[in-house]
Amino acid sequence: MSLSTVPARTAAGDGADGRSAPVAAPEARRHELAAFLRSRRERIAPDQVGLPVTGRRRTPGLRREEVAQLAAVGVTWYTWLEQGRDIQVSAQVLDAVARALLLDRSERAHLFALAAADDPSPVLECATVTPAVRLMLDQFGPMPAAVVNSRYDVLAYNHAYTHIVGDLEAMPFEGRNLIWMAFTPSRFQDVLVDVEVEREGMVARFRSAMADHSAEPAWKALLARLRQASPDFEAAWERHEVQRPGNGVKRFLIPEAGLLSFDYTGLWLGPRAGSRLIVYTPRCEETRERMEALAAA
C-alpha cells in the first residue's frame, strides 16, 4: 500500500470540530523518510564504514555529522532531512546518502520513493523467465499465453499466442512490444478488433507504469520511438490519461479462424508490479473450438 492511500496520521492540535487535523500526504512522507533515515543510520557501526571508534557514544550507530561526512553533504542539510523538514532533495544527494548508509536495493528504492525522486541508478526489472514459467506457458495451450513486462515487452509466449501477434521470432527484440505493435503496422494491429479503445488503454497504462521508471534509458527510448513513429500515439500521450493494469476482454479477427473472443487475466510473477503472465481464455464455445482447430492445424 502506498503512503498516499494509508490513513494519514494526525498533526499536533485539533481542528475546529475537536477532531485531529490530518497530516498532508507530503508531510507524512517526509516524517516516514526521517524515521527511515534514522533507523538506517543507527544500525551502522563506525568500523563498518572505516571510521574510528572514539569515546563513548550516547546513541547507537553513526552520528548525523558522520553520515554527512560520508555523503559529502552539509551537516545542517542532512540534519534537516532527517528531521523531516520541507527541503529540496536532488537525486545525486540521495544517491550519496544511500551509499553512505549502505542501503541494499530494496532500501534504496524505498528511499527514492519516500523522497519522490527519480533514481539515477534504478534497480532494473529482471527479464528472466524461469523454466517453471515456460512450462506453465506450454501447459496453457491451446489457450494463448505470454509473459509481458510493465513496458509491454513480450518476454516469452506459447505457440497459440503467435496466432494473435504473428511470428515473434522473425522480429527484432525491440519490435516484440505490444504497444509498439498496436501503433505501427503489424499483425497484432490488424487482428485487434477494438483497436482504438485498446490503444487508448495501453497508453494510459504505459504512462502509469512509466512513473516508476522515468529515469530508465529503455523506457525513455521506447517513448521517443513511439512519439516519432505514430501521430496517434503522440495524440493519446498528450491526453495524460492514466490507468492501472487489470483484467478484461479482448477480441481478435484471425484470418485463419474468424472472430475470437477472450477474457484475459494477468498473473503477477513477483512481489511487485512488473512482469506478468497473461492468459487468454475463451469467452464462448465457438472461440474454444476455433482455437482447438488452429492448434490441430
C-beta atoms surrounding 104 within 10 Å: 10
pLDDT of residue 12: 37
CA 237 to chain CA centroid, nearest Å: 18
Contact 40, 107 (CB under 8 A): yes
3-state secondary structure of 33: helix
Q: What pTM did the predictor assign?
A: 0.63
- Angle (CA) 63-66-71 rounded to 5° is 130
- The three grid cell numbers given for residue 15, joined into one nine-digit string: 481542528
pLDDT of residue 48: 85
Contact 281, 291 (CB under 8 A): no
C-beta atoms surrounding 20 within 10 Å: 13
Residue type, 250: K
Tell me how far apart the alpha carbons of residues 191 and 201 are, in angstroms, rounded to a whole number.
Answer: 17
pLDDT of residue 123: 57
Residue type, 49: V
Contact 156, 146 (CB under 8 A): yes
Q: Which residue has the higher pLDDT, 240 or 272?
A: 240
State what percent of residues in the chain have pLDDT above 70: 87
Mean pLDDT of the chain: 85
Q: What are phi and psi of 243, to 5 degrees?
A: -160, 140
Each residue of 207-221: pLDDT tens digit? Answer: 988 877 777 888 989
Q: What is the mean pLDDT of residues 7-35?
A: 57
Least trusted range by pLDDT, from 36-45, 139-148, 154-163: 36-45
Tell me how far apart the alpha carbons of residues 107 and 127 are, in angstroms, rounded to a whole number.
Answer: 21
Each residue of 61-115: pLDDT tens digit? Answer: 888 999 999 999 999 989 998 898 888 888 888 999 999 999 887 788 888 888 8
Q: What is the mean pLDDT of residues 107-126?
A: 76
pLDDT at 150 > cutoff 50: yes
